[in-house]
Amino acid sequence: MFTEDQIKALNKTFENAAPAEIIAKAFELSNEAVVTTNFRPYEAAILHAVKSVEAKVPVVWCDTGYNTPQTYKHAEQVIKDLDLNVFLYVPKQTSSHRDVVMGIPSVDDPKHALFTEQVKLEPFTRAMAEHKPKVWFTNLRQGQTAFRNSIGIFSLSKDGVLKVSPFYYWSDEKLDAYLEEHKLPNEFKYFDPTKALANRECGLHA
């Protein structure tokens, strides 16, 4: 278990470090790690960076069942090109069934919390319970939401897992250059049914 003082010290030490250094340090702290992805824009960067340090790292993909055709094609391409060790988690009910029962509720609909629990939180909780990671790599970045502005490169999840965001201080422009340098694809036709706004938290992180 990491203390807040340890987290502060790590953030200070690695504030200007390259993603590869940050990832190597995280694996030094524990090799019981996963990287999570939903194949939203710029996810290829975190997947490439972590895999470059540890080839067989488990990649947890929680698929809501509502991704666009473009996102599914992008995911298949990235999984194949990077030879990812993917563990797929999906909701217990199909999107077709849920569409009949409740559809996609708006954020102010009382059913929205249940919808989010079903399509995102339950599969994610199941994934973490099965893998039991001590380190969780993610592509959170400063400027995405108010909560994410407050956490730094290293932070603790609600369950005490060390959350590591190697590209935390990177801009879209820097990530564009990273993708270009490593010949990685990107895809912007991404849809998250649990968010009405891009700067709204979905519940996994906050």
Using the predicted structure, report yes or no on whether residue 112 has a pLDDT greater than 50.
Answer: yes
pLDDT at 104: 92
Instruction: Identify the band that residue 205 occupies on the pLDDT scale cut at 50, 70 and 90.
Output: very low
pLDDT at 1: 72
pLDDT at 3: 84
What is the rounded radius of gyration, in angstroms, for the C-alpha atoms of the chain?
A: 17
pLDDT at 149: 63
pLDDT at 147: 58
Average pLDDT score over residue span 25-54 = 96
CB 60 within 8 A of CB 89: yes
What does the pLDDT look like over 74-99, one tens digit per residue? 999 999 999 999 999 999 999 999 99
102 closest CA partner among 90, 114, 92, 91: 114
Using the predicted structure, report yes or no on whether residue 201 has a pLDDT greater than 60.
Answer: no
Q: In what order do the strands lie in the sheet with 135-137?
A: 85-89, 58-62, 33-37, 135-137, 162-164, 154-156
Q: Which residue has the tokens 């488990």?
A: 58
Q: What percent of the chain has pLDDT over 70?
A: 91
CB 20 within 8 A of CB 53: yes
Tokens of 24: 């190597």
What is the average pLDDT value for the chain, to the nearest integer? Answer: 90
pTM for the full model? 0.89
Using the predicted structure, report yes or no on whether residue 162 has a pLDDT greater than 90.
Answer: yes
